[in-house]
Structure 1
Amino acid sequence: MSDAMALDFRALPLRSASYAASLGSTAVIAPHPDDESLGCGGLLALLARAGLPVWCVLVSDGTMSHPNSRKFPAPQRQAIREQELRAALAELGVGPQMLLPLGLPDGAVPTPDTPAGAAAVQRLTAFFRRTRPATVLVPWRRDPHPDHRATSLLVRASLAELTQPPRLIEYLVWAWERATPADLPQSGEATGWRLAIEPVLAQKTRAIAAHRSQLAPGVFDDDPTGFLLAESMLAHFRQPYEAYVEVTH
């Protein structure tokens, strides 16, 4: 991938929707509820349509989008966001039995060099050994959010424990808007491609909409400083394609 191409994900080669089935059984690792729908909801829907198993691992508890809410204490925020995730997965054709919540702290997902991170690595390793996915989807390793970067480290540490690790594909969330040049894939580091998702774009749109607490006017209405997805951000995920990166070394 050249530097010029790395800076413009829209210029990556486009693969047809039928390519999705070649990934086989797939596990998506989502740092927060909504990352799965934003970054790869179309791919997940195409996999489900093809009759392939799709698992989702939710890494954080999702409570820090509105940390100052008193009406909705943290346990209630966690429950609401997990319920939204289950609704989103249902829109994509993924059943509730395919979800594994890790419950790590939102905004402070640990890295593998900490006790909590090492424990998370072991849980992920056990999950991968039990489910044996052919492909794992994880946020781009330098996606501009600390939880996304920590999630990438946890997953890669876990895959290193496996004798035959699955294919690792990285999806984009905040890299669309917030990436600096240093955050982007560098020349020779990775290859990238886009996947056509027009056949399931309506499903992806409904899945994103299921995350009501993250969309205006929101659900947690007593924290005006809380996070909501901006329209400019959402526009990236209304395109009839998704972009993916695979590191070559």
Structure 2
Amino acid sequence: MRKAAVPVQVVLISDGTMSHPNSRKFPPAARQALREAELRQALLELGVETTPVCLGLPDSKVPSEGEELFSEAVAQLRELFAATKPATVLCSWRRDPHPDHRATSELVRAALAGLAPLPRLLEYVVWAWERAAPADLPQPGEVAGWRLDVSSVFNEKQRAIAAHRSQLAPGIIDDDPTGFLLSPEMLAHFAQPFEAYLEVI
């Protein structure tokens, strides 16, 4: 999008602190700061110079509708959408197996409700590539799916992924062997010259 001179705004929903919960070298505040710094570096690799908006919601406990902090987060997103007036919003697939991704979809859709004009909402899968149950996947007639050719910026995409060093082997948080790292198999899904998107019909 930056190559097409389209302005980009990024929102980081959760604080990322549960990736290595047993680390003493990187207590929660340090993990949060690290994840935010990695995101900023990734955005620079993609040519996005806008500072991301960080909601700081609890990792692994991003609220769903009816839960504490949900209404507050919706209000923050709605205020952002009203100020920036995006033509397109991208967020995780509403039934992606990760609970934070599902909750993020709920937050985004609630924040978009009632906006005029209504932005186009495109969704993408993350963990559904590997962990989706049949009911998690798009159902017949539910969505239009398409691919965006990103071959011209493939190297930038890979550098952006590599910027998330705390999540890639061997990792930089070395005192929590149970910490989260992306597997080579998972990363292979994102080493393609295209991005796949879903749009609810």
Q: The TM-score by the shorter chain falls in which range?
A: over 0.9
**CA offset at residue 163 of structure 1?**
2.7
Question: Does 2:86 match 1:133?
Answer: yes
Q: Is the 8 A contact 2:45 2:159 kept in 1?
A: yes
Question: Does 2:173 match 1:220?
Answer: yes
Q: Is the 8 A contact 1:139 1:170 kept in 2?
A: yes
Question: Does 2:121 match 1:164?
Answer: no
Question: Does 2:2 match 1:48?
Answer: yes
Question: Does 2:15 match 1:61?
Answer: yes
Tell me the percent identity: 65
Structure 1 runs of 4+ aligned residues shifted over 4 Å read none
Where does residue 55 of structure 2 map in the other structure?
A: 102
Q: Is the 8 A contact 1:111 1:118 kept in 2?
A: no
Q: Deviations over 1:22-74 (max 9, x none)?
A: xxxxxxxxxxxxxxxxxxxxxxxxx1011110010000001111011011100
SS at match of 2:187: helix
Where does residue 231 of structure 1 map in the other structure?
A: 184
**In 1, Cα distance between the equivalents of 2:179 and 2:145?**
34
The letter of the residue matching 1:63 is T
Report how many aligned residue pairs link the two structures.
201
Q: Is the 8 A contact 1:139 1:149 kept in 2?
A: yes
**In 1, Cα distance between the equivalents of 2:165 and 2:16?**
13
SS at match of 1:158: helix
**CA offset at residue 181 of structure 1?**
1.1
Q: Looking at secondary structure, tell me which structure has more helix per residue.
A: 1
SS at match of 1:185: coil
Match of 1:80 among 3, 20, 34: 34
Question: Does 2:141 match 1:188?
Answer: yes
**CA offset at residue 113 of structure 1?**
1.7
**In 2, Cα distance between the equivalents of 1:55 and 1:221?**
32
Where does residue 112 of structure 1 map in the other structure?
A: 65
Match of 1:204 among 149, 157, 162: 157
**In 2, Cα distance between the equivalents of 1:178 and 1:202?**
27
Gaps of 5+ in 2: none
**In 2, Cα distance between the equivalents of 1:76 and 1:196?**
36
**CA offset at residue 165 of structure 1?**
1.5
SS at match of 1:238: coil
Q: Is the 8 A contact 1:197 1:241 kept in 2?
A: yes
Larger relative contact order (CA 8 Å, sep ≥ 6): 1
The letter of the residue matching 2:40 is R
Gaps of 5+ in 1: 1-46
Q: Deviations over 1:113-141 (max 9, x none)?
A: 22301100000000000000100000000
Where does residue 176 of structure 1 map in the other structure?
A: 129
TM-score normalised by length of structure 1: 0.79
SS at match of 1:187: coil
Question: Does 2:179 match 1:246?
Answer: no
SS at match of 2:18: helix
**CA offset at residue 172 of structure 1?**
1.4
Q: Is the 8 A contact 1:66 1:225 kept in 2?
A: yes
Q: Is the 8 A contact 2:8 2:50 kept in 1?
A: no
Where does residue 92 of structure 1 map in the other structure?
A: 46
